[in-house]
């Protein structure tokens, strides 16, 4: 059915984690309505979104930039899971389930990052140096 980022195991695991984190957020006490709940929702969605966006980029260095952001958001999500456990909002079994899912997603994403590094897609056309966006116009070597 899929033929894009949805086929990536890292994205699939991030999706599962996002769904579980939203369930967790829905069950948090009212005092967390504007604190932990929106943070865990946002960070878990960010993992998926950045994997998808990275997949849509042509040059491997551009893709990697988004995968690194996804990895950071994944670590943030795992931190929020730890926080929920520390504040006794989830029991040990639920914590272990979510924590293990987060770490599995992390291992899978790291593996995919290593795979993309080796492929170097787009380097033939654009080289191996990533040039970040700038307000300065690009100049030819003759200028």
pLDDT tens string 58-73: 888 999 999 999 999 9
Q: How far apart are CA 110 and CA 71, in angstroms?
A: 8
Please give the full DSSP string across the chain, using - where no structure is assigned. Answer: ---SGGG-HHHHHHHHHHHHHHHHHHTS-GGGTTTHHHHHHHHHHHHHHHHHHHHT-SSHHHHHHHHHHHHHHHHHHHHHHHHHHHTTSS-HHHHHHHHHHHHHHHHHHHHHHHHHHHH-TTHHHH-S------SSPP--TT-
Domains, the chain, ranges and CATH?
5-119 (1.20.1440.60)
Residue 60, pLDDT score:
87
User: Of 54, 48, 52, which Cα lies nearest the Cα of 66?
Assistant: 54
- Mean pLDDT within 22-33: 98
- Mean pLDDT within 24-47: 98
Q: How far apart are CA 83 and CA 131, in angstroms?
A: 38
- Mean pLDDT within 123-138: 58
- Mean pLDDT within 127-136: 57
Residue 51, pLDDT score:
98
pLDDT tens string 73-118: 999 999 999 999 999 999 999 999 999 999 999 999 999 999 999 8
User: Global pTM?
Assistant: 0.84
Burial of 51 (0-12, 13-18, 19+ CB in 10 A): buried
């Amino acid at each position: 059915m899929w033929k894009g980022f949805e086929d990536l195991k890292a994205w699939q695991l991030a999706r599962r984690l996002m769904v579980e984190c939203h369930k967790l957020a829905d069950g948090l006490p009212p005092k967390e309505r504007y604190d932990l709940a929106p943070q865990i929702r946002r960070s878990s969605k960010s993992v998926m979104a950045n994997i998808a966006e990275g997949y849509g980029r042509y040059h491997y260095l551009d893709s990697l930039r988004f995968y690194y952001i996804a990895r950071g958001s994944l670590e943030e999500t795992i931190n929020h899971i730890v926080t929920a456990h520390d504040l006794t909002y989830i029991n040990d079994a639920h914590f272990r389930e979510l924590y293990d899912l987060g770490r599995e997603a992390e291992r899978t994403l790291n593996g995919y990052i290593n795979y993309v590094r080796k492929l170097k897609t787009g380097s033939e056309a654009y080289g191996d140096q990533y040039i970040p966006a700038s307000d300065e116009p690009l100049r030819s070597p003759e200028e």
